[in-house]
C-alpha cells in the first residue's frame, strides 16, 4: 500500500521556476517582504494578471525560505490539502515539521484541527522565518479547507506569513483581518504594468523594440494587463509593421485576448498549433505524457522550444521535465479545441489517463478517466488506490471519486461499496449514507474481499456501540474472508476483533488478536498497525499486572516510533512515555513518572483524544500521588474539557470522571465522591446505558474505592465482582 507521502506530486509543493528576464516589480516585492503585522497577503486578480509569475520571482530572490503549494480541484479534501501544505514546508525548510508528518499516518479518523494544532505548535518551536504560498486558491470549494486556512492565519507564529493567490476573494474572514491589521492586499490595479514596467517587459523580456508612443498606445489598449501584453509581444515579434499592428489593436480584455491568441497561434507551425490544442486538457505537461495524448513523438523537444520562445508554456522545475500552460491561455486553447475538434477532448483525457496509470500516478489517472467519461477505467483505478487513500485519511477524495462514478457503476463494484461506506462513516456523513453503500458490498454474489471489508466496518460500528459479541462475530467473519494481500484491511479487522474481545472481557482473546495484527503489520511493513497493536498489548500487560512485559512493550513502541532521531516523535511515542510513566507510578516512583509525562506533555496536549486525554489523566494521577492535590484537580478539569471537546463517545467522559474521583478521594473529599457514586448506582440499576469493558472496569474500580472510604466493604465487593 502506498504511503501518504508517495501519493503527493512533487511539482505541486515546489516553487515554480522563475523565467529569466522577468520584469522586476520592486514595489510589489517590497509589499510582500515588508509585513507590518500582517499574517496574510491576499493577491487577488482575474486570470492573466501575473500573480504566479510575481510570486515565483519574489520567492526565488527572497533570503528566507518560501513554501509553495500549487492547488487544484482535488485539494478540496482537507487532509490532502494539509498534507501538501506540510510537504511544502518540509521542502522549503527541512525538519521544520518532521514530527507533524507522522500525524498523516495516524489511524483513519484523524481530526483536521489536531493536524493544524500540531503543525502550528511545531513551527512555533522552530521559530522559522517562512512564508507559505497557496497558489490558485480559487479552485478550492471546501468549507473545511477554508476553516483550516482561517485557523492557520489566526495562529501562525509571528515570523511566518501566508500568501494567497486567487482569481476571486475567497470565503475567509477578510473584513475582520483587515480591521485588525492582519491582512495585506495586492489587487488587479496593483498588478497592471506601469509604463516603465511595460517598456522593460517588451524590451528585455520579449525582445520587442517599440517607440515610446507605440508602448503608450499598447498600454492604453491592454490597460497594462500582463496577459494581453504577453500575447501582443508574441505577435509583435512576428509583425512586419509593429506600428500598424498596435494601431489595429482595439476592444476590451476578452476580445483582445481572443484576437491575440488567434494571432499567436496563426504564426506558429501547424504542428505546434495542434500540439498546444490537444495538450490543453493537461494541467501539467511533460514530453512522454504529451506524446501519449497527441499520438505523435517529439513532445519534449516541442516543449523546450515553446518555452524558449515564450509561446504560452513555462517550466515548472529546473531540470526541464515538467511544464504548464498559463491557466488563462489553457482555457482559451480548450475552447478552440472544442471548436476545431468537437468530441475529441474525451479521447485525449482517456489517453492521459492511460499514461498516468503506466507511471503509477493513479490519482491523476482517475481524474482524466472521469473527465474522459471512461467510468469503467475510473472504477478499476479507484479500486486500486482506494484503500491507500482511505488509510491516508483522504475520505473526501474517496467519496468524491465514487460519487462521480454514478449508481450504475457502483452497483457492479461491491468492493468500492465497502470502502466508500468506510469513507462516509469516518468522514462524519449520516450513518444511513454509509449503510447505503455498505448494502452494495453485502449484496448476493459479492466477492469475499468486498464482504470482508463490509464485515470489518460492521465490527467497528458494533464495537463503538459496546456490542462486544456482535463486533467479535463480524470481525471473525472479516478475517476469514479478507485475502492476505489486503494487509491493511486485515490488520484493521484484527484490531476490531481485539477491541471486541476486550469489550467482552476476553483479555486472552484480545491479546491473541493484537499479536496476529502485529505479525501481519510487520510482514507488510505497516508501521501504523504495528504501533496500534503494540500499544494495546502493553495495555493488556498492564491490566494483568505484568509490569515487566508492559515496560518491554512500551519501549518497543518507543523504538519503532522514534527510530534514530529522538526529536522525531510520533503520537504513539508520546503514548509510550505515558505508559512508562504509569508503570513508574505503580512501582512507587512518582518523581520519575512525572518526568516522563512532562517530557511529552506539550505534544500530547495538541494531538487530541486519546493522546492528550491519557497523558493529562496520567499527569493528574501522578500529581495526586505526590500530594499536590490542587494541581491534580486542575489537570483533571483540563482532561474533562478535552473529553468533552472530542466527544465521539461517552466512554472518555466516564473514564475521566472515574479517574478524577480518585484524586478527590486521595484529598479526602468524600462528599464530591459520593455525588459521583450516585450516577454509577443508576447505571447499575439499569437507568443508564451499560459501559464497554474498559471504561466499565475503571468506573467499577473507582466506585469500590468510594464505597470502601464510606465504610461499605460488602457493596464494594459487589461493584467489583461483575468485572472479575
With a CB cutoff of 8 Å and minimum separation 6, the contacts of 450 are 414, 415, 417, 418, 441
Helices (DSSP H) in 41-109: which residue ranges? 51-61, 78-92, 98-101
Instruction: Please answer whether residues 425 and 393 qualify as being in contact, where contact means their C-beta atoms are separated by less than 8 angstroms.
Output: no
Burial class (CB in 10 A: 0-12, 13-18, 19+), 441: buried
Does the pTM exceed 0.75?
no
Say whether 224 sits in a helix, a strand or coil.
coil
> What's the pLDDT at 523?
86
Instruction: Please answer whether residues 625 and 590 qualify as being in contact, where contact means their C-beta atoms are separated by less than 8 angstroms.
Output: yes
Binning pLDDT at 50, 70 and 90, where does residue 415 land? very high
The rounded Cα 638 to chain-centroid distance in angstroms is 28
> What's the pLDDT at 15?
84
Residue pointed to by grid coordinates 498489548 = 537
In this prediction, residues 469-477 reach a mean pLDDT of 90
Set of cell numbers at residue 76: 478540496
Q: Which helix (H) or strand (E) segment is 135 a member of?
A: strand 130-135
The model's pLDDT over 176-231, given as tens digits with 9 standing for 90+, comes to 999 899 999 999 889 888 888 888 888 887 888 888 888 888 887 777 888 788 87
Residue pointed to by grid coordinates 505479525 = 519
Q: What is the C-alpha separation between 676 and 692, in angstroms, rounded? A: 19
Q: What is the C-alpha separation between 305 and 313, in angstroms, rounded? A: 9
Set of cell numbers at residue 166: 486567487
pLDDT over 70 at 3, yes or no? no
Say whether 161 sits in a helix, a strand or coil.
strand
Give Dmax over CA atoms of the chain in angstroms: 107
Set of cell numbers at residue 475: 470481525
pLDDT over 80 at 55, yes or no? yes
Secondary structure string (H, E, C) spanning 339-398: HHCCCCHHHHHHHHHHHHHHCCCHHHHHHHHHHCCCHHHHHHHHHHHHHHHHHCCCHHHH
Set of cell numbers at residue 382: 479507484
Q: What is the C-alpha separation between 684 and 578, in angstroms, rounded? A: 31
CA atoms within 13 A on the CB side of 575: 26
> What's the pLDDT at 689?
42
Instruction: Please answer whether residues 286 and 10 qualify as being in contact, where contact means their C-beta atoms are separated by less than 8 angstroms.
Output: no
The model's pLDDT over 6-54, given as tens digits with 9 standing for 90+, comes to 456 777 888 887 766 678 888 888 888 876 668 999 999 887 788 988 9
Helices (DSSP H) in 268-361: which residue ranges? 270-278, 287-294, 299-308, 327-340, 345-358
Sign of CA dihedral 560, 564, 570, 574: positive
pLDDT over 70 at 647, yes or no? no
Secondary structure string (H, E, C) spanning 1-15: CCCCHHHCCHHHHCC
Q: What is the C-alpha separation between 137 and 165, in angstroms, rounded? A: 6
Round to the nearest angstrom and report the end-to-end CA distance of the chain.
41
Tell me whether the omega of the peptide bond preceding residue 610 falls within 30 degrees of 0, making it cis.
Answer: yes
Q: Which helix (H) or strand (E) segment is 716 a member of?
A: helix 713-721
Instruction: Please answer whether residues 598 and 611 qualify as being in contact, where contact means their C-beta atoms are separated by less than 8 angstroms.
Output: no
> What's the pLDDT at 100?
65
With pLDDT > 70 as the criterion, what percentage of the chain qualifies?
Answer: 86
Say whether 269 sits in a helix, a strand or coil.
coil
> What's the pLDDT at 210?
84
> What's the pLDDT at 253?
45
Instruction: Please answer whether residues 503 and 692 qualify as being in contact, where contact means their C-beta atoms are separated by less than 8 angstroms.
Output: yes
Set of cell numbers at residue 325: 500552460
The model's pLDDT over 302-346, given as tens digits with 9 standing for 90+, comes to 998 888 766 678 787 766 688 888 766 777 788 888 888 888 999
Phi, psi of 529 (to 5 degrees): -65, -35
> What's the pLDDT at 325?
80
pLDDT over 60 at 4, yes or no? no
The model's pLDDT over 227-279, given as tens digits with 9 standing for 90+, comes to 788 878 877 777 767 787 777 765 544 556 676 677 777 778 888 889 999 99
Q: What is the C-alpha separation between 171 and 149, in angstroms, rounded? A: 10
DSSP 8-state secondary structure symbol assigned to residue 203: I
Binning pLDDT at 50, 70 and 90, where does residue 562 land? low
Instruction: Please answer whether residues 624 and 632 qualify as being in contact, where contact means their C-beta atoms are separated by less than 8 angstroms.
Output: yes
Binning pLDDT at 50, 70 and 90, where does residue 434 land? confident
Q: Look at residues 97, 202, 52 and name the one whose alpha carbon lies nearest to residue 603.
A: 97
Choice among 154-158, 273-277, 644-648 with the minimum mean pLDDT: 644-648
Instruction: Please answer whether residues 292 and 348 qualify as being in contact, where contact means their C-beta atoms are separated by less than 8 angstroms.
Output: no
pLDDT over 60 at 569, yes or no? no
In this prediction, residues 685-700 reach a mean pLDDT of 59
- The conformational region for residue 609 under phi > 0 = left, psi -120 to 50 = alpha, else beta, is beta
Q: Look at residues 41, 73, 74 and name the one whose alpha carbon lies nearest to residue 164.
A: 41
Of residues 46 and 376, the one with the higher pLDDT is 376
Q: What is the C-alpha separation between 706 and 401, in angstroms, rounded? A: 54
| Residue-wise burial string across 624-633, b where 16 or more C-beta atoms lie within 10 A, e elsewhere | bbeebbeebb
Strand partners, 132: 67, 162
> What's the pLDDT at 566?
42
Other Cβ atoms closer than 10 A to 10: 11
How many residues appear in the chain?
724
Mean pLDDT of the chain: 82
Instruction: Please answer whether residues 362 and 381 qualify as being in contact, where contact means their C-beta atoms are separated by less than 8 angstroms.
Output: yes
Give the highest mean pLDDT range of 85-89, 114-118, 549-553. 549-553
Instruction: Please answer whether residues 113 and 608 qualify as being in contact, where contact means their C-beta atoms are separated by less than 8 angstroms.
Output: yes
Of residues 28 and 289, the one with the higher pLDDT is 289
Choice among 524-528, 535-539, 620-624 with the minimum mean pLDDT: 524-528
Give the highest mean pLDDT range of 19-23, 150-154, 647-651, 687-691. 150-154
Of residues 4 and 221, the one with the higher pLDDT is 221
Amino acid at each position: 500500500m502506498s504511503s501518504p507521502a508517495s501519493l503527493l506530486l512533487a511539482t505541486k509543493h515546489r516553487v515554480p521556476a522563475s523565467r529569466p528576464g522577468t520584469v522586476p516589480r520592486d514595489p510589489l516585492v517590497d509589499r510582500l517582504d515588508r509585513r507590518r503585522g500582517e499574517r496574510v497577503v491576499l493577491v487577488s486578480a482575474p486570470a492573466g494578471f501575473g500573480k504566479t509569475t510575481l510570486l515565483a520571482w519574489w520567492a526565488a530572490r527572497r533570503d528566507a525560505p518560501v513554501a509553495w503549494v500549487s492547488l487544484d480541484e482535488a485539494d478540496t479534501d482537507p487532509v490532502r490539502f494539509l498534507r501538501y501544505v506540510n510537504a511544502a514546508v518540509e521542502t522549503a525548510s527541512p525538519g521544520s515539521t518532521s514530527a507533524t508528518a507522522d500525524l498523516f499516518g495516524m489511524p483513519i479518523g484523524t481530526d483536521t484541527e489536531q493536524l493544524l494544532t500540531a503543525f502550528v505548535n511545531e513551527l512555533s518551536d522552530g521559530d522559522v522565518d517562512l512564508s507559505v504560498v497557496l497558489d490558485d486558491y480559487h479552485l478550492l470549494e471546501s468549507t473545511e479547507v477554508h476553516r483550516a486556512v482561517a485557523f492557520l492565519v489566526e495562529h501562525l507564529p509571528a515570523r511566518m506569513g501566508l500568501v494567497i493567490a486567487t482569481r476571486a476573494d475567497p470565503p475567509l474572514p477578510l473584513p475582520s483581518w483587515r480591521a485588525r491589521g492582519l491582512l495585506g492586499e495586492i489587487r488587479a490595479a496593483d498588478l497592471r504594468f506601469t509604463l516603465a514596467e511595460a517598456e522593460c517587459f517588451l524590451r528585455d523580456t520579449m525582445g520587442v523594440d517599440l517607440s515610446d508612443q507605440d508602448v503608450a498606445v499598447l498600454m492604453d489598449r491592454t490597460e497594462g494587463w500582463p496577459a494581453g501584453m504577453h500575447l501582443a509581444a508574441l505577435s509583435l515579434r512576428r509583425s512586419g509593421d509593429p506600428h500598424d499592428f498596435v494601431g489595429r489593436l482595439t476592444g476590451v480584455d476578452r476580445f483582445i485576448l481572443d484576437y491575440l491568441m488567434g494571432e499567436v497561434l496563426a504564426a506558429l507551425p501547424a504542428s505546434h498549433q495542434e500540439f498546444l490544442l490537444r495538450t490543453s486538457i493537461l494541467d501539467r505537461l511533460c514530453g512522454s505524457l504529451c506524446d501519449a495524448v497527441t499520438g505523435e513523438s517529439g513532445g519534449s523537444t516541442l516543449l523546450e522550444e515553446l518555452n524558449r520562445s515564450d509561446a504560452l508554456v513555462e517550466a515548472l522545475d529546473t531540470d526541464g521535465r515538467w511544464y504548464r500552460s498559463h491557466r488563462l491561455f489553457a482555457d482559451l486553447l480548450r475552447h478552440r479545441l472544442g471548436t476545431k475538434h468537437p468530441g475529441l477532448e474525451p479521447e485525449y483525457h482517456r489517453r492521459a489517463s492511460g499514461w498516468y496509470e503506466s507511471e503509477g500516478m493513479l490519482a491523476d489517472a482517475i481524474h482524466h478517466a472521469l473527465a474522459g467519461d471512461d467510468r469503467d477505467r475510473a472504477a478499476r483505478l479507484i479500486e486500486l488506490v482506494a484503500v491507500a487513500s482511505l488509510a491516508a485519511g483522504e475520505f473526501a477524495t474517496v467519496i468524491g471519486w465514487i460519487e462521480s462514478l454514478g449508481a450504475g457503476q457502483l452497483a457492479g463494484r461491491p468492493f468500492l461499496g465497502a470502502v466508500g461506506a468506510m469513507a462516509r462513516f469516518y468522514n462524519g456523513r449520516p450513518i444511513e449514507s454509509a449503510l447505503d453503500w455498505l448494502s452494495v458490498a453485502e449484496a448476493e454474489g459479492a466477492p469475499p474481499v468486498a464482504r470482508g471489508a463490509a464485515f470489518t466496518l460492521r465490527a467497528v460500528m458494533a464495537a463503538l456501540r459496546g456490542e462486544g459479541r456482535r463486533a467479535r462475530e463480524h470481525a471473525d467473519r472479516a478475517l476469514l474472508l479478507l485475502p492476505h494481500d489486503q494487509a491493511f484491511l486485515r490488520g484493521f479487522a484484527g484490531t476490531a476483533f481485539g477491541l471486541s474481545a476486550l469489550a467482552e472481557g476476553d483479555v486472552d482473546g484480545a491479546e491473541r488478536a493484537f499479536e496476529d495484527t502485529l505479525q501481519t503489520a510487520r510482514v507488510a511493513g505497516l508501521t501504523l498497525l504495528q504501533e496500534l497493536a503494540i500499544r494495546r498489548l502493553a495495555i493488556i500487560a498492564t491490566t494483568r499486572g505484568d509490569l515487566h512485559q508492559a515496560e518491554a512493550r512500551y519501549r518497543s513502541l518507543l523504538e519503532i516510533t522514534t527510530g534514530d532521531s529522538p526529536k522525531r516523535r510520533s503520537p504513539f511515542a508520546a503514548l509510550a512515555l505515558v505508559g512508562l510513566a504509569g508503570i513508574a507510578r505503580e512501582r512507587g516512583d512518582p518523581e520519575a513518572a512525572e518526568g516522563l509525562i512532562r517530557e511529552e506533555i506539550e505534544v500530547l496536549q495538541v494531538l487530541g483524544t486519546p493522546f492528550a486525554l491519557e497523558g493529562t489523566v496520567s499527569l493528574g494521577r501522578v500529581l495526586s500521588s505526590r500530594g499536590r492535590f490542587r494541581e491534580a484537580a486542575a489537570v483533571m478539569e483540563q482532561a474533562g474539557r478535552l473529553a468533552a471537546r472530542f466527544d465521539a463517545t461517552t466512554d472518555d467522559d466516564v473514564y475521566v470522571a472515574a479517574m478524577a474521583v480518585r484524586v478527590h478521594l486521595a484529598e479526602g473529599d468524600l462528599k464530591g465522591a459520593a455525588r459521583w457514586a450516585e450516577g454509577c448506582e443508576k447505571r447499575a440499576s439499569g437507568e443508564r446505558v451499560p459501559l464497554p469493558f474498559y471504561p466499565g472496569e475503571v468506573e467499577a474500580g473507582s466506585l469500590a474505592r468510594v464505597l470502601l472510604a464510606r465504610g461499605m466493604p460488602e457493596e464494594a465487593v459487589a461493584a467489583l465482582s461483575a468485572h472479575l
